[in-house]
C-alpha cells in the first residue's frame, strides 16, 4: 500500500486528536443538541480510518487490532440490549426509567446519554470494521 506524503501524514496526526475530541463531545452531549451517538461514532471511526490511510494499514493494525475493534462493537451491542431489556423491569421496552436532572444538563436525559455512548462505540467500531474488510479486499487484489 502506498504511503501518503509527509505533509499529509503530519496534518492527519495533528487533526485526529481534535476529531476524537469532537466525536466524544457529540456522543456525550448529543441528547442536548443536534448530534448524538451515530454522528459521534462516525467521526471517531473517521479519525482511525484517516490514521490508517496516512500511516499505512500494516503499521497501525497492531494498535487498532481487529479483534479489539470486534470486542468493542460486540460489547456496545450487548450494552444496548441490556439497557433496553433493563427497562422491562419498569414496564416497557426502552423505557426512560432514569429521571432527574435539570433540562439542559448532562444527566437530564435519563437513559438517553448512556444509550448515545453505546451507539457511538457501536457505530465507530462498525465503520472501522467495514474499512478493515475493504482494506483486506484491496490487499488481495
pLDDT at res. 100: 64
* Residue ranges of E strands in the chain: none
- Give the residue among 65, 62, 61, 84 at the shortest CA–CA distance from 73: 65
Say whether 23 sits in a helix, a strand or coil.
helix
pLDDT at res. 106: 67
**Is 36 exposed, middle or buried (CB count within 10 Å of its CB: 0-12, 13-18, 19+)?**
buried
Cβ contact 49:132 at 8 Å: no
How far apart (Å, rounded) are the C-alpha atoms in residues 24 and 46? 12
How far apart (Å, rounded) are the C-alpha atoms in residues 15 and 99? 38
Q: Give the residue ranges of the chain where pLDDT is below 50.
A: none
pLDDT at res. 113: 81
How far apart (Å, rounded) are the C-alpha atoms in residues 72 and 64? 11
What residue spans of 56-111 are helical by DSSP H?
57-60, 66-86
pLDDT at res. 2: 59
pLDDT at res. 58: 72
pLDDT at res. 55: 78
pLDDT at res. 49: 87
Question: Cα 58 from chain centroid?
Answer: 22
How far apart (Å, rounded) are the C-alpha atoms in residues 30 and 138? 35
Residues 6+ apart with CB under 8 A from 71: none
Residues 6+ apart with CB under 8 A from 86: 97
pLDDT at res. 63: 73
Amino acid at each position: 500500500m502506498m504511503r501518503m506524503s509527509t505533509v499529509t501524514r503530519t496534518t492527519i496526526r495533528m487533526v485526529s486528536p481534535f476529531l476524537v475530541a469532537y466525536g466524544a463531545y457529540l456522543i456525550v452531549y448529543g441528547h442536548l443538541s443536534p448530534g448524538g451517538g451515530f454522528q459521534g461514532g462516525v467521526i471517531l471511526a473517521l479519525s482511525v480510518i484517516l490514521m490508517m490511510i496516512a500511516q499505512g494499514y500494516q503499521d497501525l493494525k497492531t494498535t487498532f487490532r481487529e479483534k479489539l475493534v470486534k470486542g468493542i462493537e460486540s460489547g456496545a451491542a450487548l450494552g444496548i440490549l441490556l439497557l433496553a431489556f433493563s427497562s422491562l423491569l419498569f414496564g416497557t421496552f426502552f423505557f426512560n426509567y432514569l429521571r432527574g436532572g435539570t433540562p439542559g444538563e448532562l444527566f437530564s436525559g435519563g437513559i438517553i446519554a448512556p444509550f448515545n455512548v453505546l451507539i457511538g462505540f457501536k457505530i465507530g467500531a462498525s465503520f472501522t470494521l467495514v474499512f478493515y474488510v475493504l482494506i483486506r479486499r484491496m490487499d488481495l487484489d
